Structure 1
Amino acid sequence: MTDIPRRAVSRTAKLAALPLGFAGRTVLGMGKRVTGLAQEVISAEIQQRTAEQLFSVLGQLKGGAMKFGQALSVFEAALPEEIAAPYRQALTKLQEAAPPLPVATVHRVLAEQLGPDWRTHFVEFDDIPAAAASIGQVHRAVWKGPAIGPGAGRRRAARPVAVKVQYPGAGDALLADLKQLSRLGTMFRAIQPGLDIKPLLAELRARITEELDYELEARSQREFAAGYQNDPEIFVPEVLTAAPKVLVTGWVEGTPLAEIIRDGTEEQRDAAGRLMATLHLSAPMRTGLLHADPHPGNFRLLPDGRLGVIDFGAVARLPGGTPEPIGRLIRLALNGDAEAVVAGLRAEGFVKPDDPIDAEAVLDYVLPMLEPLSVDEFRFTRAWLRREAARIANPRSPAYQLGRQLNLPPSYLLIHRVTLGSIGVLCQLEAAAPYRSIIERWLPGFAPVV
C-alpha cells in the first residue's frame, strides 16, 4: 500500500502537465481564425500532437479523466473540421480502448467478488480484455451454469458472457481525476470555445457512486431487459450475476457503432441512427429509465439488425416517462405559437418569472434546432451540427444573445445532456431517418404537426 501516494502524485503530475504542454504549443501555433466558434486555433500538426498527448494521459489514468474524455468524444461532430480531424481518432479511441489491468489483479478482484472458486462458474475465461472503459474493463468468457442472484431463473448453460471487472481504487481515482480536470478549462476552451466544463464535471461527480455500484447497474439492466424483452429493434443482454465490482452479462456480438461511424455503409448508418433515436425516446415510457451514456462504445449493430445496448452504469430514473412539457413545447414551436412557447418555458423554469423576453426571438432561436422534426425524414450531418453550434456560440449572433437569457432547470440537466450526446452521435453517423414519426410515437405531449 505504500505506493498509493506515489501513484496519486504521478496521476496529478500527468494531468497538470497537459495544460502546460498545450499552452506552449498554443503560443507557437496561434493565428488562424474560425468564424463563429473559435477565436483562434492552432496548426493541424500542433493539434495532432495535443490530441495524442490527451489520449495518452487520459487513457492511462482511466477513472474520471477517461470518462470525461468519453463524454467529450460524442461532441466532436460540432467542431470545425480543421479542429475536429486531429481529435477525432484520439477521442474515439477513448470509447473502447485503454491500457489493461495486470492479469493477477483481474483474478484477485474476481476472487474477492465472486469467491475463491470463481473459475467454477466459467467453462472458459479470456485473461486478455476485450474492451476497457473509464472504471472497468470487460473480459470475454463462457458461462458454465445457470444465472445466480436476484431475478435469476433456470437458464441454458454454456453461453458466451461479458465479465466487467472494476479497476481497484476506481472510486478514489474518479474523485482525484475530476478535481484535477478543473485545471484543463483553458485547453478545452481552445478545442471548443464556449464549452463550460464545470457543469459536466459536477454532474459526473454526482453520479460517481451510482456508476461504481455494479449491483445497481445490474438492477437497471434487468429493468431495461424486461422493458425490451423480445423487442424486434432493441436488444438488452441478460444479467447472469453481479457483485459490487464485478458484473456478468450475456455477450453481445455485433458491429460497434464506432466502426460504423468510421467505415459503415449508408444503410448501416441510417439503421443505427433510427435505432439510437428509438431507444433514447422510447426507454422512459417503456422502462421508466433513460440510458444516460450515449457514446458509440455502448452500442452494437447486431447481425439481425437490432441495436445491442451494453452499458447501464449511467441512467436517469424517469418513473413518469419523459416530462410531458418537452413534447408539448416542441409541438407548439413547430406550430409557430411563440407566446405559448414562452409561457411554457416560464412555467418550467427556462425563463425567470419576471424577465422580459421577445417571444418571436425565442421561436427564431429554437426552430432551427427543431428542423429534424419539421420534415418527414431528416439526415443529421456534421455540417448541420456545426452550423447550429456556430449560430448559438458566436457572440455576434442574435441566438447567442438570446441564449444568455435562458436558464436550464436542474431537473432537465441530464435529459438535456443525453439529448445533445445522442444528437452528436447521429451527426457522427450522418444518419437519415423519420425522426418526427419516432417522436410522435414515444414523446408525451407531442402530436402530429398541423
Structure 2
Amino acid sequence: MADGSEENTFSGRLSRYARVSTSMGGLAARLAGERYLGMKLERGKHANDLKEALGGLRGPLVKVAQMLATIPEALPKEYVSELQQLQANAPPMGWPFVKRRMTSELGPNWSSKFKSFEKEAAAAASLGQVHKAYHHDGRLLACKLQYPDMQSAVEADLRQLKLLIGIYERYDKAVSTKQIQVELAARLHEELDYRLEAKHCALYADILKDEATVHVPEVVPELSTGRLLTSTWLEGQPILKFVADHPDARDALALNMFRAWYVPLYYYGVIHGDPHLGNYSVRPDKSINLLDFGCVRVFPPRFVAGVIDLYHALLEDDEERAVQAFRNWGFTNITREVVDVLTIWARFLYAPVMDDRVRTMGETNNGVYGRETAEKVHAELRRVGGVEVPREFVFMDRAALGLGSVFIHLKAEINWYRLFNELIEGFSEKKLTARQSKMLAKHDVPAAEAA
C-alpha cells in the first residue's frame, strides 16, 4: 500500500502539472495569435507565469528548466531570464519519509549501521535531499536520499519538456532541439541511478588523485543503493563567501576549478556537466571540493579531438579544419553559411584562450558577453535556414558557459591561453582513446553512447 505522503506528493504534482500545461497551452494560443493574427505576445509576462508554475515543483522539470536556461538559443531571452531565477530549493521532506526511504534501502535496522544520523536535511535539491550522519569508524557522512516517485516524475516531466519546446519550435525554427531533448532525457535518467553516480564519483576520484588542490568524496558502498548514496562529507565554505573573506584567493580558486573540470575532459574525455556554485566548496588552503556526480558526460574521443581541432582552426583561420571540427562535433548537413554562423559562437566560447595575455573571463574582442552573442547567432541561423544541435554539443556548451560564469563571478585574472595550451600539449585522439578505455573499464562506467 502506497504511503500517504507519496500519494499526496503525486496528487500535488498532478495539480502542478495542470498549472504548467495550462500555462503552456496559453502560450500556444498566444504564439498562434502573434504569428497568424498579428497579436502582440507578452513573452515576459508569460515567462514569469511559467516560472511561477515550475517553481512549485519538486523534481526533474526544475532541473530541466535550469539546464535549458544555460543553453543559448534553446529558448527566447525572456524565458532564459525567468528560468535562470529558478532554484532547486524546495523544502526537504520530513522525518517520516526519511525513515521509510532508509528502511526500504538498508532494512529495518538501518539506524544501527550509523553511529548517528541527523533528522533534519542538510541540503535539499530537485531530485533528493542530503542528511549528515556519522559512521561507527568516526567518518562524517553525506547520505543522499532520492525523493519518492522520481522515475514516473521524469517521464511526466520529459513529456512537459517536449510540449514546451515543441510549441516554441513551431514558432521559431532557427534551432532544432530534437537532439537536445534526447540528451536531456538520457542525463536525467542517469541522475536517478545512484549506483551509476557512485561509479562516477569513484572515477573522478581516480582521475583527480594527483591534483592536490581538488578533493572528491569517497563513496561508502555498503551504505549505498540505487536510491541512496552515502559518501564522506567534505567540509568547506561556499565559494562566493570564501572569496568575500579572502579576495586575494580569486585567481588560485579559478586555477583549481579549471583543472578540476578540464583535466578529466582532455585526459579522459569526461566532464562534470553541472558546474554551478552549489557543486563545490572551498577549504581553508584554497583547494576545492568537487561535489555531486549525478550529471557526468562521457564523450567519444573524436568529439574531444574536434574541440581542440576547432581551437587551432580559429587560431589559424583554417576554414576547412573548422568545417571538419564541426562535423566531428556531430553537426550534419551544414552549409558554408551555417559554418560561418557557428564560428561566431565558437569564437565567443574560445575567446579567453585565444590571446596570450592575462585577462578576466568576461572580456571579448567586441565587448559583448553571452546573451547578445547568442541573439546574433540565433538571428543568423534563422536567416540561413536553421541547424540541428547535436546531442554531444549540449553539455559541452553548458559546462563551458557555466564554468565561465563562475570565473566571471570570481573576477579572476589569468592567462587562460597558457593554461589551456599547457593542458592540451601533446594531445592525440589515439592517446585519449587508450586512456579513456582503460579508466572506464576499471570503474565499470559506460562508454559514450553512439550519436
TM-score by length of 1: 0.74
Aligned to 1:50: 48
Name which of structure 1's ranges 303-312 and 369-378 shifts more when overlaid on structure 2: 369-378
1:9 aligns with 2:9: no
- State how far apart, in whole Å, the 1-side matches of 2:339 and 2:23 are: 44
Which of 403, 407, 423 matches 2:404? Answer: 423
1:439 lines up with 2:416 in the alignment: no
TM-score, normalisation: structure 2 = 0.74
Matches within 5 A, 1:135-146: 135-144=127-136
Deviation string 1:359-396 (CA, Å, 9 cap, x unpaired) is 87776664344220122333123998964432342379
Deviation, structure 1 residue 40: 7.3
Q: 2:206 and 2:377 mapped to 1: Cα distance?
A: 47
Shift of 1:121: 2.2
Conservation of the 8 A alpha-carbon contact between 2:303 and 2:329: no
Runs of 4+ in 1 over 6 A off after TM superposition: 20-26, 78-87, 186-189, 192-197, 358-362, 382-385, 444-447
Q: Which of residues 219, 225, 231 is equivalent to 1:249?
A: 231
Aligned residue among 101, 106, 109 for 1:114 = 106
Deviates more, 1:79-88 or 1:387-396: 79-88
The structure-2 alpha-carbon separation of the partners of 1:269 and 1:172, relative to structure 1 and needing over 3 Å to count, comes to farther
Q: Which moved more, 1:210-219 or 1:319-328?
A: 319-328
Residue 101 of structure 1 and its aligned partner are, at CA, apart by: 1.0
Q: 1:445 & 1:408 partners in 2: Cα distance? A: 29
Show the counterpart of 1:66. 62
* Separation of aligned partners in 1, 2:201 and 2:106: 19
How many Å separate the matches in 2 of 1:436 and 1:126?
A: 46
Distance 2:203 2:378 in 1: 47
Question: Whole-Å Cα distance in 1 between the matches of residues 420 and 403 of structure 2?
Answer: 14
Q: Is the 8 A contact 1:322 1:444 kept in 2?
A: no
Match of 1:290 in 2: 271
Shift of the alpha carbon at 1:103?
0.7
* Counterpart pick for 1:327 among 283, 293, 308: 308
| Pairing partner for 1:177 from 157, 165, 175 | 157
Give me the whole-angstrom Cα distance separating, in 2, the residues matched to 1:221 and 1:134.
Answer: 19
Native 8 Å contact 1:377 1:433 kept in 2: yes
CA gap of 1:162–1:187, structure 2 versus 1, over 3 A, is farther
CA distance in 1, matches of 2:382, 2:240: 32
- 1:319 deviates by 7.0
Structure 2 counterpart of 1:31: none
Corresponding residue number in structure 1 for 2:196: 216
Distance between the aligned counterparts of 2:98 and 2:198, measured in 1?
20
Displacement after TM superposition at 1:294 (Å): 1.7
Q: Does residue 207 of the first structure (1) align with residue 187 of the second (2)?
A: yes
Specify the code of the residue in structure 2 equivalent to 1:50. N
* SS, match of residue 229 in structure 2: strand
Q: 1:258 & 1:425 partners in 2: Cα distance?
A: 9
1:9-408 → structure 2 map (5 Å cutoff)? 9-19=14-24, 42=44, 50=48, 54=51, 57-72=53-68, 74=70, 90-91=85-86, 93-94=87-88, 97-144=89-136, 157-185=137-165, 199-229=179-209, 231-241=211-221, 242-257=224-239, 259=241, 266-286=247-267, 288-318=269-299, 320=301, 323-346=304-327, 349-350=330-331, 352=333, 355-357=335-337, 366-375=346-355, 376-381=357-362, 387-394=369-376, 401=383, 408=389
**Residues 400, 390 of structure 1: alpha-carbon distance in 2 compared, 3 angstrom cutoff:** farther
Cα distance in 1 between the residues matched to 2:167 and 2:411: 28
Q: Distance in 2 between matches of 1:322 and 1:257?
A: 31
Structure 1 contact 214–244 (Cα < 8 Å) conserved: yes
Q: Is the 8 A contact 1:123 1:143 kept in 2?
A: yes
Name the aligned partner's letter for residue 307 of structure 2. Answer: I
User: Are the counterparts in 2 of residues 299 and 309 from structure 1 also a CA contact under 8 Å?
Assistant: yes
Deviates more, 1:5-14 or 1:225-234: 5-14
- Counterpart residue identity of residue 153, structure 2: A
> Which string of whole-angstrom CA distances, capped at 9 and with x for unpartnered residues, describes residues 286-331 of structure 1?
5553212222221112222112111111112247596223112202
**CA contact 1:60–1:99 (8 Å) conserved in 2:** no
Match for residue 38 of structure 2? none
Describe the shift of the 1:70–1:274 C-alpha distance in structure 2 as closer, same or farther (beyond 3 A). farther
In structure 2, the partner of 1:149 is: none
Provide the secondary structure at the position in 1 that maps to 2:220.
strand
The structural deviation recorded for 1:333 is: 1.1
Contact 1:240–1:248 (8 Å) recurs in 2: yes
Structure 1 position 173, deviation (Å): 1.1
Counterpart contact for 1:224–1:287, Cα < 8 Å: no
Comparing 59-68 with 239-248, greater Cα deviation is found at: 59-68
Hey, what's the Cα distance between the residues in 2 that align with 1:319 and 1:86? 34
How many pairs does the alignment contain? Answer: 407
Of 1-10 and 364-373, the range deviating more from structure 2: 1-10
RMSD value over aligned CA atoms? Answer: 4.2
Within 2, Cα distance between the matches of 1:120 and 1:14? 43
Please give the alpha-carbon distance, in whole angstroms, between the structure 2 residues aligned to 1:256 and 1:343: 41
Q: State the partner residue of 1:151.
A: none
Three-state SS of the structure 2 residue aligned to 1:332 is helix
